[in-house]
Amino acid sequence: MTNILVAGGAGYIGAHTCLDLFSKSFTPIVYDNLSNGHAEFVKWGPLEVGDIRDRRRLDEVFAKYSPAAIVHFAAAIEVGESVRDPGLYFDNNVGGTLTLLRAAQAAGVDKIVFSSTCATYGVPTSIPMNEAHPQSPINPYGRSKLIVEQMLQDLDRYQGFRSIALRYFNAAGADPEARIGEWHSPETHAIPIALDAALGRRPHFQVLGTDYDTRDGSCVRDFIHVLDLADAHTRAIEHLIKNGTSHALNLGTGHGTTVKELLAAVRRVVGRDFDIKYGPRREGDSPALVADNALAKRTIGWSPRHDLQSIIETAWNWHANHLPH
């Protein structure tokens, strides 16, 4: 089996990608500092504890496993935190990625799949958004990811270091067998917060903003199942290993759901009511983010297979029965 270094592979999307890689005859080598990831999620390959800013540790791991390519998830990811502490995001997301890339080049590795984000686009000028949409992020999180995309473009242009940058929309859902799922501390994502409210683990769900120019005043988001994201990462690795060219690709369903519509769907799927409160907008949030995913279909043969109901059902199974507390 071919070794793939998965930086941040003990996290939510990283762990699901390790599951998918293993199912397709790759060996995921998880490299994670466990600041947000969970050792319990590392089930399909070895765990090497380390930080992407630690060049000596990276050199050791590259020498030990000789990976064919990298999948890079290791990053700080919370928009609100990035507004409060931009330096943290540039230190980890930009500086750490540069250290990882330099270690890869020294080890003779020249292929990476990068976990990017639709937050690089900023406020949409058109919906759905394709990859040619202007990139003008409105928060430090999105800007840190855009800087890395630009670094990768230069490495490809001048040194032949090939990459696929995957711009996620809103990851959600869980492994249907509930071996792994979404487990953040603190939790800041909409679906697990709604499920916690339905389970009585928090007093209510807070809708942040009701005056957006959308069909019901709440934000519109494109929710994509984490297993569909995982499948896209494996396809991107296969594309690069077969000498495919570099790309940036959107990963979303192409269908937008408002926060209020999402809460109604959660109530319907889980069969429980819960309290909802309404508050002001959060700084750094875009009013609507919906993907045009046609380029991913053409480039790596990827299409999402799960709908919103499947997302909520699998997330509910994990949260209600398996999420540690």
* Predicted confidence (pLDDT) at residue 132 exceeds the cutoff of 60: yes
Q: What is the pLDDT of residue 286?
A: 81
Q: Give me the pLDDT at residue 28, please.
A: 98
Instruction: Kindly state the tokens that stand for 113.
Output: 């799949």
Q: What pLDDT is recorded for position 120?
A: 95
Q: How many CB atoms lie within 10 A of CB 229?
A: 25
pLDDT at position 113 over 70: yes
- Which residue(s) pair with 129 in the sheet? 291
Q: What is the pLDDT of residue 214?
A: 93
Q: What's the Cα-to-Cα distance from 279 to each of 129, 218, 257, rounded to whole Å?
A: 27, 11, 19
Region 249-277 average pLDDT = 96
As a whole number of angstroms, the distance between CA 285 and CA 79 comes to: 8
The pLDDT value recorded for residue 166 is: 98
The neighbouring-strand residues paired with 5 are 29, 70
Residue 322 has pLDDT above 90, yes or no: no
Active site residues per annotation: 141
* Whether residue 7 has pLDDT greater than 80: yes
Nearest-CA neighbor of 228 among 207, 260, 206, 251?
Answer: 251
pLDDT of residue 287: 87
Question: pLDDT band at residue 325, thresholds of 50, 70 and 90?
Answer: low
What is the per-residue DSSP string for 157-198? HHH--EEEEEEE-EEE---TT-SS----SS---HHHHHHHHH
What share of the chain has pLDDT > 90, as a percent? 91
CA angle 72, 76, 77 (to 5 degrees): 95
pLDDT score recorded for residue 79: 83
| pLDDT of 269 higher than 90 | yes
Q: How far apart are CA 301 and CA 250, in angstroms?
A: 13
**169 and 291 in contact (C-beta within 8 Å)?**
yes
- pLDDT on residue 176: 95
pLDDT bin (cut points 50, 70, 90) of residue 221 is: very high
pTM of the model: 0.95
Pick one of 3.40.50.720, 3.90.1170.50, 3.30.530.20, 3.40.50.300 as the CATH number of 2-172+223-252. 3.40.50.720
Task: Give the mean pLDDT of 121-136.
Answer: 94
What CA–CA distance (Å, rounded) separates 325 from 313? 20
Q: What is the mean pLDDT of residues 192-203?
A: 95
Per-residue pLDDT reduced to its tens digit, 231-248: 999 999 999 999 999 999
* pLDDT mean over 18-27: 98
Q: In angstroms, how far is CA 297 from the centroid of its own chain? A: 18
Scanning the structure block, which residue is given the tokens 């929309």? Answer: 169
Instruction: Calculate the average pLDDT of the chain.
Output: 95
